[in-house]
Chains A and B, each alone.
Chain A
Amino acid sequence: TQLLEQSPQFLSIQEGENLTVYCNSSSVFSSLQWYRQEPGEGPVLLVTVVTGGEVKKLKRLTFQFGDARKDSSLHITAAQPGDTGLYLCAGARGNQFYFGTGTSLTVIP
């Protein structure tokens, strides 16, 4: 059973376009993290959001935690080829972590 569903699963866009990745669940999480993973490497943390409704910005990336702490979104403005990678959301619930299915992003120059 997948606790966190990400959409879309695959995304291919032109450089300069904007995009949004969604991470949805019917469960409440104490915190939610977004990671980025390059081929052949482990995931690397981008951001952690803790409070319902929280919005965090990291340069061209904007992360939002849903008011009910069940969902999150990642918005990238003016995507660049360097943004290409696998984006993963992960929710903390009890002592466990649950990862989303991942969104594979390709930004074409």
Chain B
Amino acid sequence: EAQVTQNPRYLITVTGKKLTVTCSQNMNHEYMSWYRQDPGLGLRQIYYSMNVEVTDKGDVPEGYKVSRKEKRNFPLILESPSPNQTSLYFCASSPYQSGTQYFGPGTRLLVL
């Protein structure tokens, strides 16, 4: 089944404790993105990747890192999480930049 998977689905952590949210797609898509969704603000793009080893900042990249060592995986790293990073995070993949985006199920993060 074609899908985007994210792990974990739910995470509670404390300020400053490094964490990684994994994202994997099995559709051989070139383009992958991370978004955060907050009430009243919609989805905002954090980082995106056009292909392996090619990543770039989106609208709200501060406090986040990403890597794209393999085509299928696009992990999101929070080196030192802060409470303002509490949010619902979505990973998405697309066959090309303006194509249909397929979203993962989301990761709900709470930073205390």
Does A31 contact B98, Cβ atoms closer than 8 Å?
A: yes
CB contacts (< 8 Å) of A96 on chain B: these are 45, 48, 58-59
Is B86 at the interface (CB under 8 A from chain A)? no
CB contacts (< 8 Å) of B101 on chain A: these are 33, 35, 43, 45, 90, 97
How long is the Cα–Cα vector from A30 to B98 in the complex, in angstroms?
Answer: 8
| Interchain pairs with CB closer than 8 A, number | 61
Does B105 contact A41, Cβ atoms closer than 8 Å?
A: yes
Interface bin, chain A: 20 to 34
Is A62 at the interface (CB under 8 A from chain B)? no
Residues of A within 8 A of B (CB): 2, 4, 6, 9, 30-31, 33, 35, 40-45, 48, 88, 90, 92, 95-102
CB contacts (< 8 Å) of A95 on chain B: these are 48, 50, 56, 97
CB contacts (< 8 Å) of A101 on chain B: these are 40-42
How long is the Cα–Cα vector from A48 to B45 in the complex, in angstroms?
Answer: 19
Does A99 contact B42, Cβ atoms closer than 8 Å?
A: yes
Smallest CB gap from B56: residue in A = A95
- Could you pull out 7 A-B pairs where Cβ atoms are within 8 angstroms? A2-B42, A6-B42, A45-B100, A45-B101, A48-B100, A88-B42, A96-B59
